[in-house]
Amino acid sequence: MHEKHFNRKIPELIGIKKEMLEEVAQENFERYIKPSLYPNAVTYIKKLKEEGKRIIVASSSMELVLKPLTDYLGIDDLIATKIAFSDNLCQGCFAGTPAFRNEKKKLVLDLQKTTASILKNFLLLRQYS
């Protein structure tokens, strides 16, 4: 995505309650994403969690959309693009800088610093669509 779009508003989203968007994200996860997950990948993530590994997902996708997946998989941290809300109503724009390219890298490195972990101890899951 080009930076000129970072401040662009999406009028169709303005004023929609956060809970409604979360419900739609959860429904879409249950209907489309969950059935298409690779069973071996889910098993592998569970195994890593049982071994005490910390798992993060770093994506430029919307946090709201990824949250049902990361909750289901038991992911420890999610780095993603946030949508702005005020009084639980969508503002139709990003909250802060989207997690694209160098910003995503910066957010991962910031997480590394705040958790006092060594990056090699992280398993980064990423998906390109």
- CATH code (residue 121): 3.40.50.1000
Q: Look at the pTM and tell me if it is higher than 0.75.
A: yes
Question: Which amino acid is present at 80?
Answer: A
Estimate the share of the chain in helix, then strand, then coil, as percent rounded to the nearest 5.
Answer: 50, 20, 25
Taking alpha carbons only, the member of 18, 2, 31 closest to residue 92 is 18
What is the tally of structural domains in the chain? Answer: 1
- 10-residue stretch averages of pLDDT, the chain, 129 residues long: 67 96 97 96 93 87 95 93 95 84 77 64 49
- The residue range of the domain holding 62 is 3-125
Beta carbons of 94 and 13 less than 8 angstroms apart = no
